[in-house]
Structure 1
């Protein structure tokens, strides 16, 4: 199944969800996530394909189980992510750790136990290598290395560019010969090489990264059997956006890896680590309109969930499609399907936070951009699409002491299941100490 854009909204279930669990609330779709996994696993490849899910996109245990049950392994960005996935029942042998952390003390001991249990450690700095080298040698552990390519990255914005000289991720290409010499001296092997240049960027830059990476795999890493091209595969959240053609990208990688085999005699397995592509368009945020306000310049709808649920518009200027649903489950307007086209009115849609940037749509200067919709009433629902990735996992949920909402998943059978409870007020202060000054 090929899908583009957010999963189709079943407007009739919105008031049912709100009545049972309240708003705001996250909504996910199991079938959509599984179809995304299948598309990725069917990418063209030369000598095998390994797909890891970048769990930072959405770390909920039910989401992790859906993804890993479909055959994807995990890319973790912190020790806590790895431990969290393990609590969800996923073995460390199905994880790779790619982190900026330099664990010490008890965290270092925890890292060593994870590696002994099968965690693949992706070296991301000279210091990380120096600190892990003796342990890896003593335990006969092969390593992975993330290389900073020293070239223009491929992020959709500067904040999502992880390959340029203004990005700090990975061992810089200039330092690779030094790290490789140290590894050779200690008898260590880098059996995987990894480069991730950014999220949601130009497919041509993704292709250029393949060429560049295969070049330094050939020059510096004779023991490499796996080459990871990272993630960053763009999804089409809004009408008019172009989704990454993963069949075309896979075919290009397949061709280049076959050329590499012809030139060197070495067969390389391809690895990718998408997050957004797997879950972004599986998700919606359901909010309820709690007030209306009007100024000389703009009409406003105030909803009961904003930047504390979805920070991407404020961080990146990202756009998400807006749906208006009546309290009886009637779909009034869909921005993604651009229906209807008549009778629309401009509204700035804002949340409850005491912050001028708390809006679902902002321009490059941070000003609120109105959305063209059918005018709703207080009590109706504003549903935000394309929010399955980097929404609940990344947002400042307790800003203004708002509580993290619950999450619901629509299963393959159509059943709605609560997968995370709403945070209770006591949890806001449970770690605060009652110090008398």
Structure 2
């Protein structure tokens, strides 16, 4: 891991006046995404693993499924990582070829898996029962990948750590014998092995430990085409924050992978599925200050949004750096930034922010991943619009919802 260098990020950060203009043009609350930052992150991964001859980056689209973002990564040459049939269909609509889409579900119905199979995408299976049923139905006619649980504790907290022994994800590394027995009986063809240990992983040693486990498992399969290490790279959320050293990982894991391929006797493809790493820092959430409220112990900045639009601070206790776009040079004061939902609804406690006045626009950084896609209509509020900044221009990529959107699927009864 290494300390963050936000000076690079600052060079890519949109001009404050531009963001102010975008907020005025489209209104708030508003999600804004910087396409060039996404491209920069994608290029970093390519550069970090330049020593690997066969490398495939698949954008984990659950982080942000806006169709225009999918198209942007498709144009860069990325593949797509999906977890639902709807994400698969969005990927196909964005122009991805079926063979460039990986589908790794968890706990879905056999009906959905069969529908995805008909679409021709790559399927990863993480359940012995599902593996057996799939093998009985399709045998060797449809190659699959298997998600292994390496029993590694990785991730920023328990809600985003998915590779430990009590996780619902993956087939245990200690069940390899059972996996092989199912394959021998059904004739299944396994083309890839996959793992994902969690998000916000600080240390490259976690990936290297996982690599050793996955390489050991791979020795049990004779006809692999790829090994998929998922993702989980940590991005910085504030000055001095630690982040995954992607270049150090590329150097060390690239060497391990090359050595394994030499031992295996075949050049495999190294696959990664980054989501947050690619889009988190590209996103800015803009909210207007409705009121500044002083109590006996605190000063609250109340904005025109809530956890219906940005749930990560309430759900994961996630940190989003907050800036005052309207008064960037004002004196620093302490604020609790809160939303308008009628229950505890806090974005940040005791934050030092340039002095805030009513009608100021606040900017929440790192809003590109798991923000809009986790939004809701709680309290019957409309979900925000989305705007993409591309080559210096702003483009509306999702309209703000209206009252009719709230009623679109309602069926009225007669009383």
* TM bracket, shorter-chain basis: over 0.9
Contact in 1 for aligned 2:131/2:182 (Cα 8 Å): no
Taking a change above 3 Å as real, the CA distance of residues 189 and 47 of structure 1, as seen in their structure-2 partners, is farther
Aligned with residue 77 of structure 2, among 71, 75, 80? 71
User: Which residue of the partner structure matches residue 388 of structure 1?
Assistant: 368
Instruction: Return the alpha-carbon distance in structure 1 between the equivalents of residues 129 and 294 of structure 2.
Output: 56
Q: Secondary structure at the match of 1:332?
A: coil
Judge which range, 298-307 or 171-180, deviates more.
Answer: 171-180
Aligned with residue 114 of structure 1, among 96, 115, 119? 119
Q: Secondary structure at the match of 1:403?
A: coil
Q: Secondary structure at the match of 2:405?
A: helix
Matches within 5 A, 1:230-241: 230-241=230-241
User: Which residue of the partner structure matches residue 52 of structure 2?
Assistant: 46
Instruction: Return the alpha-carbon distance in structure 2 between the equivalents of residues 223 and 231 of structure 1.
Output: 24
User: Which residue of the partner structure matches residue 406 of structure 1?
Assistant: 385
Describe the superposition over 1:363-389 as per-residue Cα deviations: whole angstroms up to 9, x where unpaired: xxxxxx221112121111111011101
Q: Report deviation, 1:262.
A: 4.0
User: Which residue of the partner structure matches residue 336 of structure 1?
Assistant: none
Q: Report deviation, 1:72.
A: 0.9
Instruction: Return the alpha-carbon distance in structure 1 between the equivalents of residues 54 and 324 of structure 2.
Output: 44
Q: Report deviation, 1:14.
A: 2.6
Contact in 2 for aligned 1:103/1:111 (Cα 8 Å): no
Instruction: Return the alpha-carbon distance in structure 2 between the equivalents of residues 417 and 279 of structure 1.
Output: 17
User: Which residue of the partner structure matches residue 338 of structure 1?
Assistant: none
Q: Secondary structure at the match of 1:370?
A: strand
Q: Report deviation, 1:289.
A: 0.6
Q: Scaled by the length of structure 1, what TM-score is found?
A: 0.89
Matched, 1:359 2:346: yes
User: Which residue of the partner structure matches residue 92 of structure 1?
Assistant: 98
Contact in 1 for aligned 2:139/2:189 (Cα 8 Å): no
Describe the superposition over 1:246-301 as per-residue Cα deviations: whole angstroms up to 9, x where unpaired: 11111111211222234343332211111011000001001111111111010001
Matched, 1:209 2:188: no
User: Which residue of the partner structure matches residue 199 of structure 2?
Assistant: 199
Contact in 1 for aligned 2:387/2:396 (Cα 8 Å): yes
User: Which residue of the partner structure matches residue 17 of structure 2?
Assistant: 12
Give the unaligned 5+ runs of structure 1. Answer: 334-342, 362-368
User: Which residue of the partner structure matches residue 267 of structure 1?
Assistant: 267
User: Which residue of the partner structure matches residue 344 of structure 1?
Assistant: 332
Judge which range, 14-23 or 287-296, deviates more.
Answer: 14-23
Instruction: Return the alpha-carbon distance in structure 1 between the equivalents of residues 100 and 402 of structure 2.
Output: 33
Taking a change above 3 Å as real, the CA distance of residues 25 and 248 of structure 1, as seen in their structure-2 partners, is same
Moved segments of 4+, more than 6 Å: none
Corresponding residue pairs, total: 407
Q: Report deviation, 1:41.
A: 1.8
Q: Secondary structure at the match of 1:290?
A: strand
Matches within 5 A, 1:141-180: 141-149=142-150, 151-180=151-180
Judge which range, 235-244 or 175-184, deviates more.
Answer: 175-184
Q: Secondary structure at the match of 1:183?
A: helix
Describe the superposition over 1:162-187 as per-residue Cα deviations: whole angstroms up to 9, x where unpaired: 11112110112232221222112222
Aligned with residue 432 of structure 1, among 399, 410, 413? 410
Give the unaligned 5+ runs of structure 2. Answer: none
Describe the superposition over 1:56-100 as per-residue Cα deviations: whole angstroms up to 9, x where unpaired: 011000111111111111000111111122223333222100011
Judge which range, 12-21 or 192-201, deviates more.
Answer: 12-21
Q: Report deviation, 1:152.
A: 2.7
User: Which residue of the partner structure matches residue 364 of structure 1?
Assistant: none
Contact in 1 for aligned 2:152/2:210 (Cα 8 Å): no
User: Which residue of the partner structure matches residue 278 of structure 1?
Assistant: 278
Instruction: Return the alpha-carbon distance in structure 1 between the equivalents of residues 125 and 223 of structure 2.
Output: 15
Describe the superposition over 1:98-129 as per-residue Cα deviations: whole angstroms up to 9, x where unpaired: 01143344x355223212xxx00001111221
Please provide the CA RMSD for this pair.
1.8
Q: Report deviation, 1:19.
A: 2.3
User: Which residue of the partner structure matches residue 294 of structure 1?
Assistant: 294
Taking a change above 3 Å as real, the CA distance of residues 29 and 243 of structure 1, as seen in their structure-2 partners, is same
Instruction: Return the alpha-carbon distance in structure 2 between the equivalents of residues 128 and 245 of structure 1.
Output: 36
Q: Secondary structure at the match of 2:145?
A: strand
Q: Secondary structure at the match of 2:32?
A: strand
Instruction: Return the alpha-carbon distance in structure 2 between the equivalents of residues 268 and 90 of structure 1.
Output: 22
User: Which residue of the partner structure matches residue 417 of structure 1?
Assistant: 395
Q: Secondary structure at the match of 1:373?
A: strand
Q: Secondary structure at the match of 2:319?
A: coil
Taking a change above 3 Å as real, the CA distance of residues 255 and 285 of structure 1, as seen in their structure-2 partners, is same
